[in-house]
A and B are shown apart, each in its own frame.
Chain A
Amino acid sequence: MNCVEFESVLPEFLEGVQTSEQQAHLDSCPACSGLLSDLNLISSQAKLLLAADEPRPAVWNALEARLRSEGLIRDFEPVPVLVPFKESLWHRWRAAWLVPVAATLAIVAGLKLYHPAGAGDNAPIAKQRPVVTEPATRGVSARAAVSSEDQQWLNSVAARPPAVQASFRADLDNANSFIRDAEASLRDDPNDAYTQQMLINAYEQKQMLYELAVDRSSQ
């Protein structure tokens, strides 16, 4: 059994329908065992969430995008895009993102006029030495209010040493700052595939933060 075959039976595997062949593959494949661990972690974390603390839709969108990129959700139909790209890494990223945010983007896009003149720049670009304004957020990330799901996560690492907690908190602020900046940029241009990818990257960073904060030494 290979990884593709294992992923195809993963839903049944998670429900307890397991064969020795599947277990053998799981034992020998770090990628699939890691994937299974991720799903179990998500499942366990989800149980901690109370109905009243429902995360923002963006969280679920990012989660769905992640599952689609992992190939666990395959009912996706490609959406026509304005600008053709060759099949590429970037295209794959964008495709994974389009479905979960389509509804949101459609609403925002409806509020903005299409701006064809902005889509494309064929001006000569030799040896650019531009001067632009310094970024407002560079080096410092604003410490925003903590969401309920973030607070639950911070509570889960409260037993760690203070310096480690502070580091986690700083990383959390940076990840959330990235998410806010990407979301703000998307409000300006909902069709920008690269900013969509930035938002996915921001959520991946936050997901990694949640994962790496798990204290494995006592497991």
Chain B
Amino acid sequence: MMLAGVALAAGETRKELHFKVGKHPAVSINNPYGPVMVRAGAAREVSVVAILHSDRVELDQSQSHNRIDIVSHLLQGADQNSGIVEYQVQVPADANLTIHSDNGRVRAEKLRGDVTMEGNSAAMEVADCGDGHVHIKTLSGPVTLSNIRNGHIEILSMGGDVSLNSVSGPYVTVNSNTGKIAYAGDFGGEGEYAFTSHTGDIEAVAPAYASIDVLARSNQGRVESDFSLEPKHTPFYAKGGSAFAGTLGMAASSVKLFSFSGRIHLKKRQ
């Protein structure tokens, strides 16, 4: 591991960390304030560039075998301005990544390992990833997933809007309270897709060729479908306008859209 520190203007400090790792390293970053951008880089190496905004925050780092922990350690008097640390991180594509950030933007791209993100109001983005688990927990931060293939995806949000674009896999679930859920894709992968909310709206946009078995219900909200679905039996009493069920194509994927009072709309992609 190499460590270098270069003083910047206005009290900022730039630090670079480099770690040699094996296959499937576990990389954990805990950064209360500030952005964390992670993307796939060279195999067998983890590179971290961190810019500390003041001397009220320091960088704690440790490596144990194939596991790396990076922590922005807030010192006495640090707040959401002086405690900011900006991270640019490169990890092997097969790395398993865990990020915790309260309010910074968090982004991971081009990874094939597992990605776990947790935060309060941090905006969370995962792009161009596949073959791994994506687990995201947020209170109010928006979540955007794009171009995720063969993913095992679990998103839990209180008020953050969740947007899934070209996301597919065997297991895709979103559990939201007030946040909206928007899905745009073909529900590929012969998967199980379950989107639920309390008051947040749910909108799913799919192409005409989608192959789905869909069940949608909102206890108090409006429920609509642009598709002419093949009717199917529903396991509950479906009041007109508050629920629908049916199949499209070969019904390869199961799609469950449930809300308590949010609107649900299954739209046909034009």
Residues of A at the B interface (CB closer than 8 Å) are 27-31, 34, 83, 85, 88-90, 115, 118-139, 141, 161, 164, 167-168, 170-171, 174-175, 177-178, 181-182, 185, 189, 192-195, 197-198, 201-202, 204-205, 208-209, 211-212, 216-218
Contact = CB atoms under 8 A, between A and B. Distances in A.
A88 B192 contact: yes
A137 B220 contact: yes
B3 to A, nearest CB: 22
A216 B30 contact: yes
A115 B64 contact: no
Contacts of B73: 217
B147 interface: no
Contact of B225 (A128, A208, A209, A217): A128
Contacts, number: 190
Contact of A194 (B72, B236, B244): B236
B168 interface: no
B221 interface: yes
A181 B198 contact: yes
Contact of B158 (A123, A125, A137, A208): A208
Interface in B208-254: 217, 219-229, 231-238, 240-246, 254
Contacts of B232: 122
26 contacts: A29-B26, A31-B114, A118-B236, A120-B233, A120-B235, A121-B238, A128-B241, A131-B222, A132-B220, A133-B220, A138-B220, A161-B80, A171-B139, A171-B140, A178-B260, A181-B260, A185-B219, A185-B260, A193-B235, A197-B196, A205-B156, A205-B175, A208-B137, A208-B156, A208-B158, A217-B74
A132 B173 CA distance: 27
B222 A132 contact: yes
Contacts of A141: 178, 199
A114 B237 CA distance: 12
A216 B32 contact: yes
A29 B98 CA distance: 11
A177 B175 CA distance: 15
Contacts of B242: 130, 132
Contacts of B78: 217
| Residue of B73, B116, B121, B194 with highest tally of chain A CB at under 10 A | B194
Contacts of B118: 211-212
B231 A125 contact: yes
Contacts of A209: 139, 158
A128 B223 contact: yes
Contacts of B188: none
A130 B74 contact: no
B171 interface: yes
Contacts of B137: 208, 211-212
Contacts of B114: 30-31
B13 interface: no
Given A28-B26, A130-B224, A125 B245 contact: yes
B225 A127 contact: yes
Contacts of A185: 219, 260
Contacts of B64: 27
Given A171-B140, A181-B260, A198-B196, 4 more contacts: A89-B171, A122-B232, A125-B225, A167-B139
Contacts of A175: 158, 177
Contacts of B142: none
B168 to A, nearest CB: 15
Contact of B120 (A136, A197, A198, A212): A212
B261 A137 contact: yes
Contacts of A120: 233-235, 237
B258 interface: yes
A120 B137 CA distance: 35
B177 A119 contact: no
A201 B196 contact: yes
Contacts of A128: 223-225, 240-241, 244
B261 A125 contact: no
Contacts of B260: 135, 137, 178, 181-182, 185, 198
B237 A119 contact: yes
Contacts of B96: 30
The 5 closest A-B pairs by CB, nearest first: A130-B241, A135-B261, A118-B237, A135-B220, A121-B238
Contact of B199 (A139, A167, A170): A139
